Amino acid sequence: MLYSNIFLEPSEDGITTLTINRPDKLNALSVATMCELDDALRCVEHDSEHRALILTGAGEKAFVAGADINELVEATPLEWKARCLRDQAIMRRLETMPKASIAAINGYALGGGLELAMCCTLRVAAESAKLGLPEVKIGVFPGNGGTQRLPRLVGRGRALEMMLTGKWIDAAEAERIGLVNHVVPQAELVPFCRNLLKAILENAPVAAALILECVDVGLRCGIEEGLQFEAAASAAVAASADRAEGTRAFLERRRPVYRGR
């Protein structure tokens, strides 16, 4: 697929950068942009040249300023529902990929932009970033996972305050409440994310993929089922070549060479 609203840039170290590229519209998520994002995420998920992902927005002003409001004016309720379900599935693909992803939040992350960032494994914000779910201000709704993921990340009270007032918060506040993992100067944002992913990629890939899956499963079920799943995942890791290599390398006082098997 030829992209006109995003850039997908693989790199030799396996860390691919996906940039939403509509800076004149603050990278708003149009239907066409979501289609391209869907295609790109499928590539990242299935192709082994992509080992980890940085998701960011073009320009200095915005990560993503939400769904494209121009496309929201005429939609009927059933069209809305279909669009919600489709966009939710695209974002869920990002959330459940067995590969680490970081949202490099380089400015406004509003509405669908914050909902997209919340599907990444981690979030790092530039000092100038502003984050919020302001849909209620224009009579619409955070229907791409906002009502579900924000309370899970920051707790019910804070999430409800953000969604009901529609007010956005700055990067420092987002870090304080756990919505982002780190805040860094804008110029250091992408290098910082890259270093964080490099540190993740040095570790055993099989264990890392199963940590991602266990946390996702655990957040969807009760503690008993979560612990059962964890034990089964632990057994799968124990059967991996990565485990044999990692433990042997420790005892032989050398760096492990993992193959993700």
The enclosing H or E element of 249 equals: helix 241-251
Calculate ∠ Cα 189-190-194, nearest 5°: 120
Question: What whole-number distance in Å separates Cα of residue 130 and Cα of residue 168?
Answer: 6
Q: Which residue in 141, 154, 147, 144 sits closest to 116, CA to CA? A: 144
User: Token digits for 110?
Assistant: 């509003």
Question: What whole-number distance in Å separates Cα of residue 77 and Cα of residue 83?
Answer: 10
Task: Please say which residue, 166 or 260, places its beta carbon nearer to ligand COA.
Answer: 166
Q: Which residues make Cβ contacts (< 8 Å) with residue 110, sequence separation at least 6?
A: 64, 65, 66, 130, 131, 132, 133, 134, 168
Task: Please say which residue, 134 or 205, places its beta carbon nearer to ligand COA.
Answer: 134
Active site residue 135: yes
Assess 65 for contact with ligand COA (CB under 6 A): yes
Active site residue 74: no
Q: Which of residues 119-138 bind ligand COA (CB under 6 A)?
A: 134-135, 138
Task: Please say which residue, 70 or 234, places its beta carbon nearer to ligand COA.
Answer: 70
Q: Give me the catalytic one of 49, 115, 225, 245.
A: 115
Assess 68 for contact with ligand COA (CB under 6 A): yes
Q: Which residues make Cβ contacts (< 8 Å) with residue 227, sequence separation at least 6?
A: none
Torsion of CA 97, 98, 99, 104, to 10 degrees: 40
Mark the segment that binds ligand COA (CB under 6 A) among 92-100, 105-113, 193-201, 205-213.
Answer: 105-113
Site string for ligand COA, 143-162 (x = CB under 6 A): --------------------
Q: Which residue in 122, 136, 126 sits closest to 215, CA to CA? A: 122
Q: How far is the CB of 24 from ligand COA (least distance, A)?
A: 6
Q: How far is the CB of 246 from ligand COA (least distance, A)?
A: 44
Which of 6, 18, 20, 26 touches ligand COA by CB under 6 A?
Answer: 26
Assess 63 for contact with ligand COA (CB under 6 A): no
Which of 67, 183, 209, 233 touches ligand COA by CB under 6 A?
Answer: 67
Count residues contacting ligand COA (CB under 6 A)?
16
Calculate ∠ Cα 102-104-109, nearest 5°: 115
Q: How far is the CB of 30 from ligand COA (least distance, A)?
A: 8
Tell me which DSSP letter residue 45 carries: H
Binding site for ligand COA (CB under 6 A): 25-26, 28, 65-70, 108, 110-111, 134-135, 138, 140
User: Which residue numbers are catalytic?
Assistant: 115, 135
